[in-house]
Structure 1
Amino acid sequence: MITLKGAEVSAKIKEQTAEMLKQCGGRIPKLAIVRVGENPDDLSYERGAVKKMAAFGLSAEVYAYPADIGDEAFKAEFQKINGDPEVDGILLLRPLPKQIHEREIERMIDPEKDLDGISPENIAKVFAGDSSGYAPCTAEAVVETLKAFEIPISGKRAVIVGRSMVVGKPLSMLLLKENATVTICHTRTVNLRETCRNAEILVAAAGRAKMLDKESVGKDAVVIDVGINVDENGKLCGDVDFETLEGTASMATPVPGGIGAVTTAVLAKHLVMAAARKG
């Protein structure tokens, strides 16, 4: 079984981004990372994003607010960032605390700065097959990984386990655009293993540690694991029991070291695209 390492995909995206950066006239694109509270997952993603921006020669600034900030106060702060001409793109770490109306923030964000595809306009573009919109970075990272390793998508049976707006639903649209035949499953799907075994490309994005093993994987399938969980030993793991796949899957992404690295690379690519469009 071939291990599909995210670092290799990230390196290819970095090359593409370097070419696009030439269109920015020497200006360094700036990312605003907006965080409310001190959620460990948010802090981890934030560190990864800041590190990736620096590696790509880009700028990132963190705008952190206390977990108890009020809805109106946060909206006022967010609008300042949204309207700042020096900010080329925004990454909003979610979920937000309950007192903040997240849907209203999603409607507020400038679609041209919405690098993670949360605005209604960008979501609509993804579902319409309009590539001028920004897809959620993790969903796009799956497609980037398949393409980087020259894995055929057109005509293939793709099964996605997970139906979120972060991965499952937008990824189904991106794969359909590449002419895959797509099935979306979830934790309540009847005969889930049987459906998964029929996949030539299997994407696990349900957020349950090691919920899929070799019994859920068809012979020579390509397995893309989007999940990031902590197992019973306190170690990072995916939604797939990676160690069981040898002899069944032809290729698979590891966790850590897989899609996560590609996701932040896609974020960097989106930032440069946004800056280049501004001219």
Structure 2
Amino acid sequence: MIELRGNALRKKTINEILEFKKEYPLVKFNFILNEKNDESVSYVKMLEKFVVALGIDYKIISISSVEEGIRYVESCKDDRNNMVIVARPLGFDNEEKIIERISPLQDPDMLTKENIGDLVFGDLNKLPGTAKSVISLLNNYEIDVKGKKALIIGRSISVGMPIFLALQRMGAFCSLAHSKVSVADIKKASLESDIIVLASGQRNLIGSEDISKKAIVIDCGYHSDGKGDIDFVPDCEYFTPVPGGVGPMTIASVIKSGYYLRTLKNDN
């Protein structure tokens, strides 16, 4: 079995970010969080650690309501160098309304309707961080997905769905499993798949007996015990370990996307 590890690719991405930073030194990342939500705080801590290490300008904004978040997002639109990252989940009802107000040119998470639309039409530069990490790993290890059967388990707008769209665009024969699909059907599809992407956030929906020895298993999950959506090492051809697989690339991918957006022209 070959482990697909993201550390070397992360270093390459960091070098690319530093080159972007030379050309666009005024780019600033605005991290919106809810201090009362542990997941939101944890995500911002990881983002902060990364940008501090690279000397990238940033600001942390703690909000207590959706309305407060919307006001801050609107205030960022005056400067193209502002990038806005909402540390989801914030724990508010209708928190997606904050994302709806972000300019697509200031959306490194690639979650605005405009950026999602571009992805649907084939622009893989508009992949969210985790999804971009998965595709980058496959490309880095020169894994050709054309014609392969791919099963994506989970359909979130930031992970499962964009990975499905990307693999489809790259020529894979894709199936998307979600909460309305029976576990029995997911297990059956898994055993028949060449590529299995675990992105549901649920532990062990499939077992070792549901994975072919020739499969490529990509685990996007991360749980409190430090393991992924499966807590065993599958007997397969390729596997992303947790930690060390997809994870190291995710934050770097988001920050690189911010600089990529800065290179785009504003057509408005």
TM-score, with length taken from structure 2: 0.89
- Give the one of 115, 122, 125 matched to 2:108: 115
Q: Would you say 1:143 and 2:160 are equivalent positions?
A: no
Deviates more, 1:107-116 or 1:162-171: 162-171
Distance (Å, rounded) in 2 between the aligned partners of 1:98 and 1:21: 34
Structure 2 CA distance for partners of 1:55 and 1:71, relative to 1, 3 Å: closer
- The alpha carbon displacement at 1:35 in A equals 0.5
Whether contact under 8 Å (1:3, 1:252) holds in the other structure is yes
Unmatched runs of 5 consecutive residues or more in structure 1: none
Whether contact under 8 Å (1:56, 1:268) holds in the other structure is no
Supply the RMSD in Å over aligned alpha carbons.
2.2
- The alpha carbon displacement at 1:54 in A equals 3.2
Whether contact under 8 Å (1:21, 1:276) holds in the other structure is no
Structure 2 CA distance for partners of 1:48 and 1:71, relative to 1, 3 Å: closer
Distance (Å, rounded) in 2 between the aligned partners of 1:38 and 1:182: 39
Whether contact under 8 Å (2:80, 2:262) holds in the other structure is no
Deviations 1:40-95 (A, max 9, x none): 22222212222222344423321122xxx244333223322x32527431111123
- The alpha carbon displacement at 1:208 in A equals 0.9
Aligned to 2:188: 194
Q: Would you say 1:238 and 2:228 are equivalent positions?
A: yes
Distance (Å, rounded) in 2 between the aligned partners of 1:41 and 1:97: 9
Distance (Å, rounded) in 2 between the aligned partners of 1:186 and 1:267: 25
Whether contact under 8 Å (1:7, 1:262) holds in the other structure is yes
Aligned residues: 264
Structure 2 CA distance for partners of 1:70 and 1:45, relative to 1, 3 Å: closer
Secondary structure, aligned partner of 1:274:
helix
Whether contact under 8 Å (1:29, 1:272) holds in the other structure is yes
- The alpha carbon displacement at 1:119 in A equals 0.8
Distance (Å, rounded) in 2 between the aligned partners of 1:141 and 1:183: 20
- The alpha carbon displacement at 1:278 in A equals 6.3
Q: Write the letter of the residue equivalent to 1:161.
A: I
Distance (Å, rounded) in 2 between the aligned partners of 1:113 and 1:267: 12
- Give the one of 198, 207, 217 matched to 1:213: 207
Deviations 1:165-201 (A, max 9, x none): 1111111111111111111112442321110111111
Q: Write the letter of the residue equivalent to 2:2.
A: I
Whether contact under 8 Å (2:105, 2:262) holds in the other structure is no
**Where does 1:97-176 land on structure 2 (aligned, <5 Å)?**
97-99=91-93, 101-131=94-124, 134-176=126-168
Distance (Å, rounded) in 2 between the aligned partners of 1:15 and 1:179: 30
Structure 2 CA distance for partners of 1:88 and 1:242, relative to 1, 3 Å: farther
Whether contact under 8 Å (1:113, 1:274) holds in the other structure is yes
Q: Write the letter of the residue equivalent to 1:196.
A: S
Distance (Å, rounded) in 2 between the aligned partners of 1:180 and 1:146: 12
Aligned to 1:44: 42
Structure 2 CA distance for partners of 1:31 and 1:70, relative to 1, 3 Å: closer
Identity, % of aligned positions: 29
Q: Would you say 1:7 and 2:1 are equivalent positions?
A: no
Distance (Å, rounded) in 2 between the aligned partners of 1:272 and 1:199: 36
Aligned to 1:273: 260
Q: Write the letter of the residue equivalent to 1:126.
A: L
Unmatched runs of 5 consecutive residues or more in structure 2: none
